[in-house]
Amino acid sequence: MASLPLKNCKPRFLCETFVSLVQSRTLADRSYFGGWLRSLFAYNDSKKDARKDAHSSLLAKRDTSGLYEIQFHNVKPECLDAYNSLCAELHGELYRDINEACEEVGSWNTWYGQGNQAVHLWRYYGGYPVLTDCLKKLKLNKTYLEFHRERSKMLMSQQNQLLLEFSFWNQPVPRTGPNIYELRTYRLKPGSMIEWGNHWARAIKYRQENNEAVGGFFTQIGELYVVHHLWAYKDLQSREETRNSAWLKEGWDVSVHYTVPLVQRMESRILVPTKTSPLQ
């Protein structure tokens, strides 16, 4: 399309051209175009639109079930079987004895993603006070200290994050199997968590048909502006069919359109539950 000779255009003609351009767009394009236009004047409205609430208070569940810990353990390849056996023997019983409000949500080994990696998800009913109490008691527990020493010999590296639970996601509950799980991790642009939550609060309704949505979380301690979505599928073929069916639902494409620009990096892990994981 040839550029308009702006120096010869009348103001009225420019306005009419702009209106015609916007009206010719789809609803999604108009919203996107309008957002771009508003960004030109964002400085003038910044004081009016600035939020004084932490995104955690706006997006997280209000009850006491919302504090989680996710652990990524990179295990020496030759130690993976011994590591799984050790965790299966002590995880559930040990932590229940320490504090009944600490609960193992799920434990997995990666199938696709980083090899020889174990992933554990824990929930602390009662929030930070329960977490603090649990950690204090573990440091004094001889069984745990011996378990920790033996486990450490099997690890190459580890990473922990404390998470809150999105208010609009399902709460993880035990499942019968067999299932595979997908942990999708999104590293967002700083300052974009509220916008992410607003879009996904609408988008999640498109992903409930096959009961695939297990849980959604965002980090509070550890690497920040990280989101984890956990999904369950019968197998890889079921995963493909379920994901493809979402694109047939009007509105899912719009949600993806608006959330993709918020992401700096993303990762997908396919997980297989351990024998004693509550999520099978």
Segment 212-247, tens digit of pLDDT: 999 999 999 999 999 999 999 999 999 999 999 999
* Beta strand residue intervals within 169-278, DSSP E: 180-188, 213-221, 226-233, 263-273
Average pLDDT, the chain: 83
Token pair for 143: 């069984």
Model pLDDT, residue 12: 52
Does the pLDDT value for residue 137 go beyond 60?
Answer: yes
Q: What is d(CA 260, CA 230) in angstroms, rounded to the nearest whole number?
A: 18
Give Dmax (Cα) for the chain: 84
Mean pLDDT of 143-156: 95
Asked if 270 contacts 96 with a C-beta cutoff of 8 angstroms, the reply is: no
pTM of the model: 0.80
Q: What is d(CA 250, CA 247) in angstroms, rounded to the nearest whole number?
A: 8
Token pair for 30: 């108009």
Mean pLDDT of 192-207: 94
In the chain, % of residues over pLDDT 70: 78
CB atoms within 10 A of CB 111: 15
Asked if 148 contacts 80 with a C-beta cutoff of 8 angstroms, the reply is: no
Q: What is d(CA 248, CA 278) in angstroms, rounded to the nearest whole number?
A: 32
Q: What is d(CA 65, CA 71) in angstroms, rounded to the nearest whole number?
A: 18
In order of start, what are the domains of the chain with their CATH numbers?
Answer: 60-273 (3.30.70.100)
- Please write the tens of the pLDDT for every residue from 250-279: 889 998 999 999 999 999 999 999 999 999
Give whole-number Cα distances, 135 to 10, 103, 139, 144, in Å.
71, 13, 6, 11
